[in-house]
């Protein structure tokens, strides 16, 4: 079932693009490219737009990112706080590459609802 807004990829000059789609009451936002200080404003806009649609569950799929730095990690933690404050759920798909290693090294995967590839969100 599609929700109010499924989007086609939107790319920025910084090399980050996003695709969002609805799966029942879950909004899945897939980020592609690099998530760093240069692309952070676009990523934040995409996440804010997704949050604005008030899905019961927002899935941030970061498994397609080639690179993520601390600003991207902070964005995820802030999105978690927004979801908690609104009484909604945030789930994160990290994949098994560099993005997952960053979150694991920082020891914060335990603070997040982390989905494995192909795993349905809560």
Number of residues in the chain: 122
Fold of 10-64+77-115: Transcription Regulator spoIIAA (3.30.750)
pLDDT tens digit sequence for 85-111: 999 999 999 999 999 999 999 999 999
pLDDT tens digit sequence for 32-57: 999 999 999 999 999 999 999 999 99
The pTM (predicted TM-score) of the whole model is 0.86
> Which runs of E-coded beta strand occur in the chain?
10-11, 16-23, 26-35, 57-68, 89-93, 113-115
Residue ranges per structural domain of the chain:
10-64+77-115
Cα separation of 118 and 15, whole Å?
25
Return the pLDDT at 117: 72
Q: Which long-range contacts (CB under 8 A, 24 or more apart) does 95-100 make?
A: 95/62, 95/63, 95/64, 96/63, 97/63, 98/65, 98/66, 98/67, 98/68, 99/62, 99/63, 99/65, 99/68, 100/63
Cα separation of 25 and 43, whole Å?
22
Please tell me what DSSP assigns to residue 120.
P
pLDDT tens digit sequence for 63-73: 999 999 999 99
């Amino acid at each position: 079932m599609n929700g109010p807004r499924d989007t086609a990829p939107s790319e920025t000059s910084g090399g980050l693009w996003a695709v969002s789609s609805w799966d029942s009451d879950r909004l899945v936002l897939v980020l592609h490219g690099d998530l760093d200080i240069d692309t952070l404003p676009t990523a934040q806009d995409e996440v804010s737009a997704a949050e604005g649609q008030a899905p019961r569950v927002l899935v941030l799929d970061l498994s397609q990112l080639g690179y993520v730095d601390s600003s991207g990690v902070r964005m995820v933690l802030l999105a978690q706080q927004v979801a908690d404050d609104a009484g909604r759920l945030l789930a994160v798909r990290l994949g098994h590459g560099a993005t997952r290693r960053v979150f694991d090294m920082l020891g914060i995967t335990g603070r997040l609802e982390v989905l494995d590839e192909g795993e349905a969100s809560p």
